[in-house]
Amino acid sequence: MTDAGRMWFQELGVGIPPNVDQPLAKFAHPCADWSERKPHLAGTLGVSVYRRMVDLGWLAPISGTRAVRLTIEGKREPAKRLGIRLR
């Protein structure tokens, strides 16, 4: 991970250990989404980002499923921070 990438995640509130103590494949890797079959961030980093987005109220888990709902704030913040428009 680059220094700029590490800083971006830290600004989001996702801590990145200075020396990742697990194989890179377990830390961060692409994985096909179960519903749309599109890649998403998996591994320890993916879980950390997911938890942070739930904590921030950007994602809302749908009870009894693995699905999540993107909140209004969850649509706004990635657009502001990354220039990504989400539906």
- Specify the pTM: 0.80
Q: Is 70 helix (H, G, I), strand (E, B) or coil?
A: strand
For the chain, which residues make up each domain, given as ranges? 45-87
Q: Is 56 helix (H, G, I), strand (E, B) or coil?
A: coil
Contact 61, 68 (CB under 8 A): yes
Q: What is the pLDDT of residue 60?
A: 97
pLDDT in tens, 33-84: 877 788 888 888 999 999 999 999 999 999 999 889 999 999 888 888 777 7
Q: Is 85 helix (H, G, I), strand (E, B) or coil?
A: coil
Looking up tokens 């890179």 gives: 24
